[in-house]
Amino acid sequence: MAGTARKRLVQAGIDAFYQRGFHATGLDTILERAETTKTTFYKYFESKNDLALACIQENNVRWREMFPGLLEEIGGE
């Protein structure tokens, strides 16, 4: 996976949390998907809750960037 470990963790979290749910997703699943270790995880996040917050914030940023284009595509100028 390309990108920094933090970016990989956030992307893995977004994928896992939105597919399986927060409670059904264990930290080991995220670490495996991000191809990183617990040591690296704790370098960037204090807990799974902190990662979840980062995932929600990143997903919000992506949605806000994408939304105007979708509106224009569907509704026209």
Instruction: Tell me the pLDDT tens digit for each residue of 29-57.
Output: 999 999 999 999 999 999 999 999 999 99
- CA neighbours closer than 13 Å in the CB half-sphere of residue 57: 8
Q: Is the pLDDT of residue 1 over 50?
A: no
- Tokens in use for 24? 């059904």
Distance CA(18)–CA(77), nearest Å, equals 32
Q: Is 37 left (phi over 0), alpha (psi -120 to 50) or beta?
A: beta
Classified as helix, coil or strand, 7 is helix
pTM of the model: 0.81
